[in-house]
Amino acid sequence: MIEGTVNGKAFKVPESFEEFSNRHWKLFMRVMTDYRAATWHDVRLKFIMKLIKFPVRKLVKLSLSKDFWDQEEYEEHMSQITVFSERLKYFDDPKISTTRNVFPVVRRGIFRRNLYGPADNLANLETWEYAIAEIKAISYSETNNKQFLDELFAVLYRHRKPFWLLRKYFGASPSDPRQQFHDENIASYLKKSRRVGKYVKLYTYFFFQSVRSTFPDQFKDLYKVRKSTGEARETNWSDTIVAFTGTTPGDEEKTGRTNILWMLKRMNHLAHEADEMEAKNKENKHV
């Protein structure tokens, strides 16, 4: 945490996005939404002022006053806020980075069942589940249509498995508490998604996209630009699942339920082997 003092009040703020609590993220999503047209610098200032609960009305009143001492006080407050905000280096790059899901459980009240989300780094997602979520996330980023945001949340958040705590206690339950993913259940979860706070759903989108952005560094052979084509490999998940299934009919569902990180590791390994084979073939042609 970074410590500071503004308006005679001491406070602490997170040193990186990874240190954000769910309260910090809700506040940040609120600032991002309410001040969408603002610059990244303005978002930084607004976030700090909201975080430390600075009396904004007082600041506005001072800025409008023609009194010399009011103007002096206004300049002093703004200087303190600006200097402190510049210490938050993670705001220097307008790219939100978090691989930790701070909303693993979304509580919906006493008479409604809670919804459980993905693990950190999307570690418990199935391949087909990830593929559909990726489509929804890309669609939202391109259109800013809230329907896709609701659908993304409906794909990733589900009810808990029956007797999960009991099964976990006896060591008979997998690490993912969520019920198994099924395409046909998205519609029913979509109704529940619309009742969830927009800041939680917006965070889910940023969290998903942030983890996605780490994949090119984790799986370099899969995502790197190929010299032969000058482009990166395209990942068509339907074709990938069919290719990994082989010639056995009906096994596509089993392949689609493979863990996404395992699938990416396997695809990365095959891409590495393909690049080596391509390099050897070029060498043989020159011999």
Is 99 within a domain? Answer: no
Same-domain check for residues 87 and 140: no
Residues 6+ apart with CB under 8 A from 74: 59, 62, 63, 65
Q: Residue 38's pLDDT is what?
A: 64
CA distance 32 to 231: 33
Residue 177 vs residues 22, 168, 238: alpha-carbon distances, Å: 20, 9, 26
Residue 131 and residue 214 share a domain: yes
Q: Are residues 73 and 160 in the same domain?
A: no
Same domain for 144 and 166?
A: yes
The pLDDT of residue 49: 77
> Are 140 and 184 found together in one domain?
yes
Domain count within the chain: 3
Quote the CA–CA distance of 141 and 143 in Å, as a whole number.
6
Specify whether 232 is located in the same domain as 204. Answer: no
DSSP 91: G
Q: For the chain, 287 residues long, give each residue's pLDDT as a single digit of tens.
A: 777 777 677 777 787 788 888 888 888 888 887 766 567 777 777 887 777 777 667 666 766 677 776 677 767 777 777 777 777 776 676 677 889 999 999 987 666 789 999 999 999 999 999 999 999 999 999 999 999 999 999 999 999 888 777 776 666 556 788 998 998 889 999 988 888 888 999 999 999 999 999 998 998 888 876 655 556 566 777 777 777 776 565 677 788 888 999 999 988 888 888 778 877 777 666 55
Are 150 and 45 part of one and the same domain? no
Check residue 143 and give its pLDDT: 94
Among residues 202, 218, 234, which one ends one of the domains? 218
Query: Which of 190, 218, 246 lies at the terminal end of a domain, its last residue?
Result: 218
What is the spatial distance between Cα 251 and Cα 241, in angstroms, rounded to a whole number? Answer: 9
Cα 53 to Cα 18, 29, 58, 59, 106, distances in angstroms: 22, 16, 12, 12, 26
Q: Are residues 26 and 82 in the same domain?
A: yes
Instruction: Please report whether residue 96 resides in a domain.
Output: no
234 and 206 in a common domain: no
Final residue before a domain boundary, out of 199, 218, 237: 218
Q: Based on the domain organization, do 209 and 237 belong to the same domain? A: no
Domain ranges, residue 144: 105-218
E strand residue ranges, 69-134: 105-106, 115-116
Token digits for 257?
Answer: 């339920």
- 29: Cβ–Cβ under 8 A, 6 or more apart, which residues? 198, 199, 202, 203, 206
Q: Which residues contact 38 (CB under 8 A, 6 or more apart)?
A: 46
